Structure 1
Amino acid sequence: MSANQENISLSISSLERIKKSIVCRSDFLSLYGKTQLIPYPFRREHHCNRWAHSLDVYEVVNVFSEEMTMEAQLLCQIGALLHDIGHPPFGHVGERVLNEIARDVGGFESNAQSVRMTLKNMQFPLMIALLCLKHKNVIPETQARQGIIKGIYREDAFILCFDKFFSLAPIREVIQVSDKLSYSITDLKDLITIRGDAFVRDLCCSMEHRSVIDTILCHKTCKTIDIVNEMMTSHREFMLCKSSMHQFFSDVNRRVIACLDDMKYLEKEASLANDVLSSIYDSLLEQQHDPRKALDYIAALDEKDIVNKYHLIKSGKQNVIHRLYI
């Protein structure tokens, strides 16, 4: 389907149907069992997962898109639901493990995976995939250096030619701002459950806009959207300055991650992720499965499911894995 055909077919009713279909998809529902901040071995029911985070972003985009057209608002909501659809088990730790073990076939990058999954599975695939596009670098098929290269897989890079046909930059900006704001709030709320209010307040006491942290602490039992609405009232000038807000919450995120690192949470998650993901990937390749399809399969599993499959491999029942994969 061409870009022009997608534009002709586009309507509010079709966007509504797409939005409703996403929340029933297995790859969206699998986000319920995937790490947002607190790693799998330590996560409890009250901690945020990627499914809950995606729903938070879905609500928050409405705050920043209220002056847009109805079509644009719906695209913001669709992009919010799909923005993390390609994230693998074990969060960014899992992403780094998969990238390392698949370096010879182009590696693994979560945002590129989101684009890939929407291209494969969505109606109006070009437009919806472009909503998920965060970085326009084409990832080399063979990576010569360590580290994740943010971008898009080479086989999907053709969509970059169609970006000019859709006016999606303002919509992507709304999604990205809402994403950062949402996970920053829930990261702090989750850290509070582990270390307490006083620790979080001390962690951020030297920051310029620490009154924003106080607002989050005072409303820690509220929904993310309610905290955002309160911040729009109490800190409106700050909230409308996207560069200041981005810089502030990037600093918050660095402090939170450093705290988890100090607690050895990330080290323990990395050890588990490396064992589990490497074993399943190697087992699939032994059966001569295509490496990229193996990565698709792994990325679509939640953490409980993939750990169970890992134990099957260790008990000599890997044929069960392969039947499910095929």
Structure 2
Amino acid sequence: MQTFSQDAFDPTVVGTEPRPAPGEEGTASYTDADTERWAAEPAKSKHRTPFERDRARVVHSSGLRRLGAKTQVLTPGSDDFVRTRLTHSLEVAQVGREMGRALGCDPDLVDTACLTHDLGHPPFGHNGERALADIAAGIGGFEGNAQTLRLLTRLEPKIIADDGAPRGLNLTRASLDASVKYPWRLGEGPPRPDGRSTHKFGVYPDDAPVFAWLRQGAPRGGVRCMEAQVMDLADDISYSVHDVEDAVVGGRVDLRLLDDEAERARVVEHVRSWYGGWHDPDALDAALCRLRDTGYLVTDFDGSRGSLAALKDATSQLIGRFSGAAQRATRDVYGDGPLTRYSARLVVPDETADEILALKGVAVTYVMAPREAEPVYGAQREIVADLVTALADRAPVALEPAFAADWAEAADDDARLRVVVDQVASLTDVSAMQLHARLVRKP
């Protein structure tokens, strides 16, 4: 069995016993501390729970709207069918909401975490993320998940504190904590099986104060709350299933290839190359064979309505297979009753984790890895780097007004570079290319 947290759970540091928030149905398993906001706000209507308000704030945010024009795997506009970051986030929210509800989590809280999980991703997907990570290496790095926290607590315009400081969407402590997939700074995460530190992280140094606030009551050692674990698994499930669906519809993969031992070996090697060489190749091959033998994988896709319907049914069956296995395994350990915050750990059977990872490997092998060699991939990284240079050289004039104000208040060159990175990260694929065309002239 696998659990979606990295350190031993210590129930002695969770804090007060859960008690209902007066008059607010649906928060019975959460404390007043869970529903506290970083900046105090006037009393709100009792018609909605704090978590319902959190979800509404995310739904109406500009950050969520921008995801509609940001790359998931394939560039938006390259195909009418492919998913964007927005459609991916909506699908993650649906999977996570149902899984969370089944385990006793507040569904709006899980929904909020799922909708926010990709808000910080820059233009051009992980390609743009790598470019910004190189540029920001000396100022605390760049990571889409850390940028999400920055957006939720600082950059997204909603609440301004009494001292004039921006507080972003000012979500509840529980919603912010559930949105932090990697609750540690760069280089401080748990070691991987190969002994190296994970390159993923969830907070920049200058966002440490709000991070410390939202983690009050959390166990030490980078343990994630139950709702964050559900969000993470929902993301993995959606990523694995839907990227393969897109690849099949786009003609990039014929799943009959999985009958071929050599093709399965290719997939396994891509998994180990992209996600870690410690993964057992025999277990991954067995996972691919199990998936093939379920009969869910559509191997005769021809683009007809019948085959599209069969493919959609396959995605539903696989989502149910993965989510259901985790729910049953978790209930086997913890029994009935609501499993919230730090009262439990999400349990994922090893075979289920291997199947999800193997399915990711199919998308990597036939879609993502081949794209690495395409000229457009290098051009996208160059656009991101050019934009940072051009905006830094022409700041604050070239910056958007909100970022120009941040620039004026920045204490040093590192802080000013972070402001430029913030603006570039906020761009969509299209707006990045348009801004590049205006600011950068190439011979």
TM bucket normalised to smaller: 0.7 to 0.9
- Give the TM-score of the pair, scaled to structure 1: 0.80
The one of 300, 308, 318 equivalent to 1:221 is 308
Alignment of 1:31-46 (within 5 A): 31-39=67-75, 43-46=78-81
Structure 2 distance, partners of 1:234, 1:96, is: 33
**8 A Cα contact 2:51 2:175, kept in partner:** no
1:18 offset after TM fit, Å?
A: 2.5
- Taking the TM superposition and a 5 Å limit, the aligned residue runs for 1:76-155 are 76-120=110-154, 121-124=168-171, 126-139=173-186, 148-155=199-206
Deviation digits for residues 65-87 of structure 1, max 9, x if unmatched?
22345x72111000011010001
- Inter-partner Cα distance in structure 1 for 2:144 and 2:67: 13
SS where residue 297 of structure 1 aligns?
A: helix
Is the CA contact (8 Å cut-off) linking 2:109 and 2:227 kept in structure 1? yes
Question: Compared with structure 1, are the counterparts of its residues 105 and 224 closer, same or farther at alpha carbon in structure 2 (3 Å cutoff)?
Answer: farther
Distance, in Å, in 2 between the alignment partners of 1:232 and 1:307 is 35
Q: 1:44 to 1:5 in 2, by over 3 A?
A: closer
- 8 Å Cα contact 2:322/2:356 also seen in 1: no
Residues 84 and 114, structure 1, Cα contact 8 Å, conserved in 2 = yes
Q: Which residue type is aligned with residue 165 of structure 1?
A: G
Distance 1:264 1:37, change over 3 A: closer
Larger radius of gyration: 2
1:186 corresponds to which of 242, 257, 263: 242
Which of 51, 55, 58 is 2:86 aligned to? 51
Q: What do the CA deviations read for 1:168-190 (whole angstroms, capped 9, x no partner)? A: 71111111111100111111011
Quote the residue 1:24 is aligned against.
60
- Quote the sequence identity (%): 21
Shift of 1:126: 3.9
Could you tell me which runs of 5 or more consecutive residues in structure 1 were left unpaired when the two chains were aligned. 141-146, 317-326
**What letter matches 1:194 in structure 2?**
G
Determine the C-alpha separation between the residues in 2 that align with 1:156 and 1:223.
46
| Cα shift readout 1:185-243 (whole Å, capped 9, x = no counterpart) | 11101111232434564555942422477425389735999656534666787554524
Tell me the alpha carbon deviations over residues 56-104 of structure 1, each in whole angstroms, 9 at most, x when there is no partner: 01111133122345x7211100001101000111111110011001212
Q: In structure 2, what is the equivalent of residue 177 of structure 1?
A: 233
Map of 1:177-326 to 2, 5 A cutoff? Answer: 177-192=233-248, 193-198=250-255, 201-202=258-259, 203=263, 206=285, 207-211=288-292, 214-217=295-298, 221=308, 229-231=316-318, 238=325, 240=328, 242-243=348-349, 244-261=351-368, 263-265=370-372, 267-288=374-395, 289=407, 290-315=416-441
175-184 or 99-108: bigger deviation: 99-108
Partner of 1:62: 97
Structure 1 window deviating more from structure 2 (287-296 vs 275-284): it is 287-296
2:399 matched residue in structure 1: none
Aligned twin of 1:321: none
TM-score (norm 2): 0.61
Corresponding residue for residue 322 of structure 1: none
Amino acid at match of 1:134: K
Q: Distance in 2 between matches of 1:132 and 1:235?
A: 21
What's the Cα RMSD here? Answer: 3.6
The counterpart of 1:6, out of the listed 15, 23, 36, is: 36
Paired residues, number: 310
Is contact 1:185–1:216 with CA below 8 Å preserved after alignment?
Answer: no
Distance in 2 between residues matched to 1:224 and 1:55, nearest whole Å: 19
For residue 17 of structure 1, give the secondary structure of its aligned residue in structure 2: helix
Distance 1:67 1:150, change over 3 A: same
Distance 1:80 1:28 in 2: 11
Q: Is the 8 A contact 1:56 1:224 kept in 2?
A: no
What SS does the corresponding residue of 1:298 show, helix, strand or coil? helix
CA 1:233/1:79 → structure 2, altered by over 3 Å: closer, same or farther?
Answer: closer
**Cα 1:172/1:149, change in 2 over 3 Å:** closer
Structure 2: which amino acid aligns with 1:313?
Answer: L
C-alpha distance 95-233 of structure 1, shift in aligned 2 (>3 A)? closer
Assess if the C-alpha contact under 8 Å between 1:93 and 1:266 holds in 2.
no
Code of the residue aligned with 1:49 in structure 2: it is T
Separation in structure 1 between the aligned mates of residue 311 and residue 203 of structure 2, nearest angstrom = 30
Q: Distance in 2 between matches of 1:236 and 1:31?
A: 25
CA contact (8 A) 1:99 1:109 kept: yes
User: Over residues 253-296 of structure 1, what are the superposed CA-to-partner deviations in whole Å (9 max), with x where a residue is unaligned?
Assistant: 23422333553455434312222101110011113452111111
Structure 2 CA distance, aligned partners of 1:313 and 1:165?
Answer: 47
